[in-house]
Structures are given as structure tokens and as C-alpha cells.
Structure 1
Amino acid sequence: MKGGFGRLPGFRSIRGKLMAAVVVCVLAPALLTLLLFSSLAEDAVQRQAIANAENAMKLTGASIETQLGDMLTIANHIQLNPDMTGYFKRYVRFGSEQPDPVGKFAAGSRILQQLESLSAVGDRSYISILLTDGTVFTNYSTDEFHPRRFREEAWFGELQSFIGLQSYWIPTSPTVFLYEKKNSPYQLSVARTLRLDDSTIYGYVVVTTMESRLRVQFEKVAQERRVLLVDEEGTVLSGPELSDIGSAQLARVRPADAGVPASVVVREDGGKRLVTEMRLGINGWSLVSVQPYKEAIANISQIFNRVFLAQLLLFVAMLALLVGIIRRLTYPLVHLGKAASAVQRGNLEMRTGVRGPDEIGRLGILFDQMLDRVQDMIREISAGQARKRLAELAMLQAQINPHFLFNVLNSIRMKVLRSGDADSAKMISSLSRLLRMTISREEAAITLHEEIELLRHYVELMNLRQKEGADLVLDIDADAFLVPVPRFILQPLVENALLHGLSRSGGTVRVEARLEAGGARLLLRVEDDGAGMDEPSLEGLRRRLEEPRPQEASAAEASIGLSNVGERMRLMYGEGFAIEADSSPGRGTSVTMRVPLPAARPAEGTIAAKRQMTKGEREDG
């Protein structure tokens, strides 16, 4: 990329280019190294975060399986204990044989004692035994909940197909025990069938525990990760919040083997999350852990971040050192550049003062010597120009003073007036004022008031020259009188009206001036009621006004002056100026100009022009 740095404002100097080269050659490899390290570290951090999450999941799973296993232990004891099953079978036979009240009471007492002893296994569990003859045994008061209501549940019908040690796990449901509802609104249950040797069902066992006992385990790890217990369909059975129960857990991993956690990093609206799932071997339910990925890698990534930061700081320090050395070495060049800029602004007294045995020191010496030579040449040229101005001044002083000419004309006017020739005196007076406006004035612009005064004298002279006189009618807004306009901008238009429109029959020349667009534009219009012109002549005039060209030698002077007006105004005002002409035979001709005005018009030139005109009028008078 040739010249790439040179196109940037900050890299046009030698110092900037050297610094850019250092940044590219030193910082680029450093950044590539850091990016490679960051990429490799990210993979290692992710693997470690997954391993930590899966180890934590195993611990949580062991705790949950222990609690669910306690429920199975109770069910196994009831189902496999020969004493209890013997009592159950004997109790059921009492229903079909002649009852033995003493034996029945003794069997019932033995069953209740066994249930009380089982209540001590693990956490508090509610045990319900329903026999087919309608007899029930519980370790709780049936006034609180009667186990016969289990027969009304939808899952009770599915329980009929379970044999042997097969267990039916009942998902989370509202607590039926009034005493527990306040602390644990939900419960979990497992149910089994009690069968005779011929597989005939003679009873059912239901072991119930409170969901809150599982929730305690999830709350312990809630600060690190969010762990949920879900069934095969993904419905939440337990979690750290009651509001989680019954909702659907969308992010799943579904590991192939029970007891072996599996993890995946997923992207959600809130960012990346680490999802870990482990299927419980006890009942097919799963534990799902959802943790923000940033939190999962926070502790691990701190070490990598510190190493990364240390490397980055080292690179920055080395880069700053190199930049400082370059600034020191290139300081003379920067000083030379500032000196050259000062010379460019006109300060020829500036000297670099850069000295040294190397190339830069030699360049400073030659630069100072060059400035000395330039100053000598300027002094020589200035002296020659001064002598030339003195010679021109002497030549001008030898010319006739214009005021002498005005005084002579004024004396002639007074003498002619005393002799009684008022018309000749008036012509001399108008001529004197016209000469004063054209010869003695140096301003490029005058006020509209002065331009109108010049027109008045010009029309008086033309009326004395032509056989048929013309009337000058002025329609000037008061606000437009002091607007500055170019000199002789209206005179060519009036001259064109007198020579072409009113030369044979006389008539009226009307001059109109007013401000438009809130004072942003000046309208000037000169119109006559003379002969007018036909359409071809009007089109020719319009072309000359829009695209003025050099006139032929035979063209009339007034036509040339009219074309020059448009050209002068466009040069001064640009595209904002507009001029247009309109005419018809027998109805006269009008020329309209629209002149853009600056936002603020100078007042000092206007006042000075008025004072000079007043002084001239006093001299003429």
C-alpha cells in the first residue's frame, strides 16, 4: 500500500511515519500473539468450566438420589419384609374368612409399629398402605388426609400394570397434607403394588415426601448455578424457586447414560449459558444445571486474564519507550518543519538554530543561510520599488489638478449665467457635476442616491442635446436610497431608452427601485414609453444580456453599454444576479435587474460618499 500513511493527516511527517512503522512492526506481532494465546486459553477455560460443572452435578445428583432412594428403601421394606406382607395377607383373609378380632387387632398393631419405625429412615416421609378390602394403614392421621382419595387420581389406574419392584413415580403435585402446605406447597410420591404369589393385587404402597426437602439442596448451589429436577418431558419438578415448578426447561442435553453428566454451551438472548444435564438412574428423571457462561469461567479465566494483562502492559511499555526514542531523534526535523511554516506565513526573521554533525544539522545551517539571502534580496527589491513610486508621484504632480478644471468650469458657468444664457449655464453645471462623479471619485460602488443624482444630470444634458426632451420620473423606495450599487449601472439603461426609444418623439423614462425578499434583494427597473421593438429585436437584446459577446464595430455604443451592464453585474454578484428585458412595438421597453444584497451593508462608505457629494454640490453652487 504505497503512500498509505502519507494520505492520513497524522502521518504526513517523518516522525509520524516512523511511529507508524514501529506500531506496525512491534504491536502487530504482539497482538497476534495475544490473540492466539486468548483463543487457546478460551478453549482450555471452557473445558475446565465444563469439568467443574459436571463434578458439581455429580455431587448434587448424589444428594438428590439419596433422598429419592430413601423413599424406595421404605417401599422395598414394606414390599419385601415377610412379617409385614404376612400381616397384610392375613389381614386381607380376615375379610373373607370368619373374623378373629384379637388376631386382627394384633396384626394391625404390628403393622403400625413397623410404619413408625420406617418413619425414622431419612427425612420425614408419609407412608400410605391401601388394601383391597378397603383397610388402610398410615403413619399420619387420616383426619388430615384419607389415602382412599389416591384411588381418584389419574395415575392410580396406570399403577395396575406395575409388577414386582417396579415403581411408579408421581410427579410434583399440590400437597394434600394440611400441616405441610404452609412450608411445602408441593409433594413427590412413589407407588408400588402388593401382589400374591399368583400376581393378584391385594394392596398398594404410596410413599410421599415434601418437595421442599429437595428444594433445600437446590438452594444451596443457587448462588453458583441454577439446578432443576425435570421429568422425561422436561417439566420442572423441583428447583430453587417455587415459580419454577411446572414450567418447561427448554435447554436440554439428554445424556445417553444414567449417572454420567453431559454439558453444552448454548447461546440465548441474554448471552452464552453453560447447560449440564445428568439422568438419574433411580427413576429416569434428570437434573439440569443452567449457569451464565461468564460466571462459570469467572474463577478460571482470572488467571488467564492476569497473564494476558501482564503481556499487554509489557508490550505497551516497550511501545511507549520506542515512541519516546523516536520523538527525541526526530525533534530537529519537527523544529525545521515549524520554522518552514513560520517562513511560509511571512516571518522571515525566523531561524531554526538546528546544528549538528549529521545530515539534519547540515540542513538547518543551509536553511538559515537561505533565509539570510532571501532577506537581502527583498531589501534590494523594496528599495527599487520605493524609487519607482517616487518617480510616479513626481509624474502625477506634473499633471493638471482636476479641481482646477472644475473651478474653471464653475467660473465659465457664472459668467454665462450673468450674460443671461440660463440654458448654457445649466448645461455647464450638469457637465461639471458629471465630470466630478467620473473623474474625482475612486470608489467602485456608490449609493443609489448618488447614482440617481448622476442620472438626473445626464438626462438634463441629453435633453439640451436632442430636439425632443424626455421626462425623468423616479419611483424610489426610501429604504433603497442608501443601498450601495456599482457606479454607472443605471446610466447605460437610461441612455439606451433615450437614444433608441425616445430619440424621435420624446416621452418619459421611469426609474423604479425597491427592496425585495425582506431586504435581501434590490429591484432596479428602467422603462420608457417610446417606440419599443419587435420580437426579433427583443430576442437579440435578450441574448446580448444573457450571453454578452464582443460587439461588431458597427454596433451602437448604447447597445454595447447595455450588454456590459449584464456582464459587470454577473462578475460582481455571480449567479444571484438576474436581468430581463421586455418590449412591444408602440408600448416602449423595460429592463429589470434583481441584485442580491449582502447580509450586512457597509454604512461608512455610504456616509463618506454622501459627504463627498455634498461637498461637490457646494463647490458647484
Structure 2
Amino acid sequence: MLGRLRKQLLSQSIRNKLLLTAIACVLLPTAITLLTYNALTQEAVQRQAVSNAQDSLQLVNGSVTGLFKSMLNIANYIQVNADMNSYFKIVNAGGELSAKPYEAFIRENNILEQLENLTVIGDKSYVTVLLTNGKSYTNYSTSDYNPADLKREPWFGELDKLRGFQSYWVATRPTVFSMEKLDNPYQISVARTLRLENGEIYGYIIVTVMENQVNAIFDQLIAGQEVMLIDGSGRILSHKDRTRIGQELDLRLREAGAPLGSQVVRTGEERYLVAGQSISFNDWRLLSVQPYKQAAANISSLFKRVFLFQLVSFFFFLMLLIALLRAFTKPLVKLGRVTAAVQQGNLDVRSGIRGQDEIGRLGLLFDQMLDRVKQMLVEVSETQARKRRAELRMLQAQINPHFLFNVLNSIRMKAMRGGDRDSAKMIGSLSRLLRMTITSEKDDIHLHEEMDLITCYVELMNLRQKEEVMLRLDIASEAFMLQVPRFFLQPIVENAIIHGLGQRKGTIAIHAEMHDGGAIELSVADDGEGMNEEELGRLRNSIQVQSDGTMRGREGQHKGFSGIGLPNVMERMRMVFGDGFRMDVQSEPGKGTEIRMRIPAKEEAPDV
């Protein structure tokens, strides 16, 4: 089954393969993603609901903490105010603040005004400063509540255990202020001690706010959730349902709302989302309890809408993908038809596909390739024709080398017997030269063999002309085994004899030395007439043109070093040694001409 399906898939066109692959690569991951998304939605909904509960509770925590902090700030102000503390110490010790009653009244009134001003801005707070001698100072009327009654509170004895700026937080208790009892049945307080330099307590600071101020924050910031303030033992300190204040919270809810914790717990038939955060000043905690269905309702609805949107978007973009793939692959289909036509032998067909993308460049390159193929077919045909003509000429020119050498030796011997030693010498040199050039089947020879060929060539040239040319060789011993093309120096030496020296006597010096890396510097110099700047420029230009490969070198018809054969030498050496080969010409009128060549090591040259 799988094998048949695979065979059918492989037999499809590239367009169908791309379409099937794209659909599979989009459909399968998307289907898996949607299924996984649907399966994980509940978990994501729960995480989001927990996160929302924590964020909401964080706002409440900031406001409640701000309320409690304002209470501590009032206590701190009184505790560190030097003027007020000095006054309280004197009064507690029973001393006279002033000899004049009016001045004592003004001083006491000033203290009361400061206490009153502490709560002018912000939430209403009840401030009490109770000295150990029974004297008290408040920002409320003592007819509303007698501060001396604080000593009968069950928690008052705990204040003697405080040290320095330690605070004692009084859990929610029934309101003691007669004006507040009707509307605010509960209150929350914080207490500090006033101590002498020796640590003895001389007074107490009690700051009280109504519990209603706390649960008002719950209603303002979190709607539809049950928020409460509990102490370390789990007793409810503040709740919008006043009947629950003072009750113990269910243990499972209490544990689920651990500090900075959030959980979904089941109580009976109902699941609740519980979030908890600590109050930084004491061991109290804020708890948010909400039915899970209610907490997740909006988020779950959002997830469902997102899921539906993703499903619709998937089908829309799937259709768009199919349409785009068909449009993108249309040039490939056309290119396939053109390729089939070329396979059948039609080299005149062209795709005509153009564009800036890969397919457009492929169409352009394919058409250019067909043009190049047609051009190469023409060139191959012409090359084969030239090759056949060259082979025919070679067959016509073939002569048995041994027959030629034997005839030349017979002529040389006959000339010697006749007393013509110059002719015999000339024939002997020619025989050696022909033997070295005709009998060798290798294109490359060693440099020392090339020197032997040049020596024979100069001997033959000396027999032709009236005055002899002296050949001076200065070759480094390690350069003798360098592989070079046969007769690459012959055109240079010939130019030196005919054009440089003008077929008169003179000296031709060949110098070769090795350099680092195996390269060799070789020069051929004569002491002939030399060239002027114009002639030297034309010669260098002919060599440079041949080096660029743009045209064949042309022999110049001018006096001096005419350049006959130098472009051909340049071409041969470049074919063997590549761009590493260099040739330069130096010449001055009356001082001769020097051809300098740099021949790279064999490993620097490309294979030919």
C-alpha cells in the first residue's frame, strides 16, 4: 500500500508534488496544532485565570498596604518628633511646662493640632497617645471614647514586649468609638511604645482605622470576587460580608491561598480559584476566592473565538497557498515543455521565461545555454574540419626520420671527404638539431635540453652569416631540470641574431637563477642596436595584447627587435604555466635589448 502510494507520488509532476507537499506540511501541523490547542485550552484558561486573579489581588494588596503604611507613618511621626516627645516626657513626669497657665494651654493645644493635622489628608484615622500617668492626647473627642479604657483591652499587655520601632497589629475588633459603631462595627489598630533613654516606657501610640476602609478597597478594585483579609491563624479580619469577620477560614482554601500562591481547589461540588498574597508589615494575608467557572468564563469564551478565527484563517490561507503555488510553478511547467522539445532535437525552441526570481533567472540561463550549445556545435564542426585538414597536412608532411638522418650523415661524410669541413659542420649541427626536435614525442623537455637545442641553432646561424655570434650561458645548476616547452627560446634568440645584432657579430647572454618557491628568473640579452621608446612601446603592447587573449600578436616591420614570435612564446608559456608566467622587455638605443621572463614552479601552473 505504502509502496504504491510512494510510486504514485513520484510519478506526479513537480507542480503536483509541491502542492501535495505544501498542503501536507501546512495541513498536518495545523491540524495537530489545533487539536493540541484545543486540548491545552483548559490548562491555558486556568493559567490565565490564575494570572488575572493574582494581578487583581496585587492591586488590592498595593492599596491595603498603602492604608497600613499610612497608619505606620503616623506612629513613626509621633515617635521621632523631638518636640512632641519632649512635651510628653515632661507631662508624664509631672513637671510644669510653663509658669503661666496660658502658655501651658497654648503648648498643649499645639500638640493636639499636630495630631489633628496628621489625618487631615487621606483616610480617617483615630490617633491616641496614652501616657503611663493616665494623661492622653487624641485627635478625637474623649466623649466619643475614653483612651484610658485601652488599658483594659486584652492585647494591651503585649505592648510592653515591643522594642524600638516594633509595631503590634491589633486584629479586627468591635469598634470602640460610639460615633462609628452604627456604620463601622469593626476596627483595626496598630500600636507603638514611647520609651525614655533608659528604655522605660512612658507612653503608647495607637492608630486605628475602620475595617470598612479595607473592604471598601475590595469592592473598588475587584468586582465579582470574594476577597478577604486573614491573620496567620486563618481568622477572617476583613470581609465585605461582616457576619464572616472573626470566623475561621476553610483549611483547604487557606492552604491554597499560601503567600504568592494560586490554586484551583474543589470544595464539595464546586471548584474555586484561590489566590493569596502577603501583607509586608505582619503575618496577615489577602485571599481572593472565586468560583472557577465564573473566573474562566470570559477567558474560555475568548479562547473559543480565537480557535474559530484560526480555523477560518487556516482554510483561507490554504486556498491562497494553492493559488500562489500554481502561479509560481506555471513557469516551471512551461520550462518542462521546452525541455521535452529540446530532448526531441529542437534546439530553436526558447522558454521566454524572465524575471528577478530564481525561476526567471533559470529561464534566462536555460535560453542562453541553448544559444551557447548551438554556437558550440558550430565551433565543434569547424574545429573538426580544421583538425581533419591538419591531420591530412601532417600525413602529407611525414618523412621517416631515420631515412632523413642517414641521408644527412651521408652528405656530411661526402663533404668531409671532399675537404669541405664548413659544410660538414653545418650538416652535422642540422642533423643534431633535427634529431632533438623530431624524435622527441614529449611537448616538454628539461631546460638543459633546451640549452642544447639553442647551442645547435646558434652554430647553424653562425655558418649562415659572415660574422659569428657568441652564445654565453649562465644557468644555475638547480634550474637545469625545470620542465619547459620545446624551442620556447628559439624565437627570442632568432630575433636577437637577426634584428638585435643585425646578423653581425655580437654576444647573446642567457642567464637563469632560482628564487624562493621554485620559480626561475630567465633573461636573454644581446649587445645590439637596441630600440627607441616608440619601438619598445609597440613591442610591449603586442605582448600585452597577446597576454590579454584579445588578439593574435602581429609581427611589426621595423628596425631592431621586431617582436617576431614573442607573442607566440607568450601564448605558449601562458598555456603551460598560467597567469604566473611574466615577460618583460628592456631596451635602450645602442645598448642592446633584454627579454626577462619569470617562469613559476610547476605546482603554480594549471594542468593542461
Alignment TM class, shorter chain as reference: 0.3 to 0.5
- Report the TM-score when normalising by structure 2: 0.45
